[in-house]
Amino acid sequence: MASYTIKLLKKEIIANETMAFHWEKPDGFEFKAGQFGDFTLIDPSETDEEGNTRAFSFVYAPSENELVTATRLRDSAFKRVLKDLPVGSEVKFDAPHGNFTLHKTESTPAVFLIGGIGITPIRSMIAEATYQKTSHDMTLLFSNKTPEDAPFQSDLKELAEKNPNFNFVPVMTETDSDEWIGESGHIDAEMLKRHVSDISTPIYYLAGPAGMVQAMHKMLVEAGANEDNIRAEEFSGY
């Protein structure tokens, strides 16, 4: 773990109220897919009781050689300043942190039950497994309200095309069923069993709003998953 001062290289809207930020990658900086960094604004134009530092997962895999984060743009001082941060601006960067990473035993399947911006560390894990050509059997159920709310959909579709071991299942909770071809409604045991044949075998990764993560954990235990095989990361500040 080390501290750096890095520059913002690019920012872009990637879904409704969601932005990605491309940062200067420090020389020699290394991280594992699924990890995160602490980003601190320098002399921000406004602040509040939540402070000037936030933790953001790295969206891109180490193999992609880019430092990218993404966030929903809720109405906080930090998010307002970040949204308007000019390209070329500097922030303090402390990283890497976290152990929410893909398990090493490739014969054990991975199942990701993810909501919204919780996709950030998962995209990194799946991309790294794809680039490294590991044999992990991976299934992603990715829940959003509508397709317009879902970040990195095209990336995930592309990874599914590249990786025969990766099954991408987009799930929409509020879309018109006549227009959406795919899973609709909230992720539940019945939906899970349509895509995962043996509930007891995989290691499960949960990420998203706290309420969703807790609901998914409860559902998995009741459906017969091994509680020791459930790993979770809650994304606050939705």
pLDDT for res 237? 52
Paired tokens of 108: 């054990």
Q: 174-215 pLDDT, tens per residue? A: 987 677 888 999 999 999 999 999 999 999 999 999 999 999
3-state secondary structure the chain: CEEEEEEEEEEEEEECCEEEEEECCCCCCCCCCCCEEEEEECCCCCCCCCCCEEEEECCCCHHHCCEEEEEECCCCHHHHHHHHCCCCCEEEEEEEECCCCCCCCCCCCEEEEEEHHHHHHHHHHHHHHHHCCCCCCEEEEEEECCHHHCCCHHHHHHHHHHCCCEEEEEEECCCCCCCCCCEECCCCHHHHHHHCCCCCCCEEEEEECHHHHHHHHHHHHHHCCCHHHEEEEECCCC
For 184, other C-beta atoms within 10 Å of its C-beta total: 14
Q: 159-179 pLDDT, tens per residue? A: 999 999 999 999 999 987 677
Binning pLDDT at 50, 70 and 90, where does residue 37 land? Answer: very high
Q: Where are the domains of the chain?
A: 2-97, 110-234
pLDDT for res 67? 98
Binning pLDDT at 50, 70 and 90, where does residue 38 land? Answer: very high
Binning pLDDT at 50, 70 and 90, where does residue 238 land? Answer: very low
pLDDT for res 4? 98
Paired tokens of 73: 């743009």
pTM for this entry: 0.96
Query: Minimal CA–CA distance to 120: which of 43, 187, 60?
Result: 60
What CATH number has the domain spanning 110-234?
3.40.50.80
- The mean pLDDT of the chain is 96
Question: Any idea which fold 2-97 has?
Answer: Elongation Factor Tu (Ef-tu); domain 3 (2.40.30)
pLDDT for res 131? 97
What percent of the chain clears pLDDT 90, i.e. is strictly above it? 92
The yes-or-no verdict on residue 69 having pLDDT over 70 is: yes
The yes-or-no verdict on residue 20 having pLDDT over 70 is: yes
Q: 76-134 pLDDT, tens per residue? A: 999 999 999 999 999 999 999 999 999 999 999 999 999 999 999 999 999 999 999 99
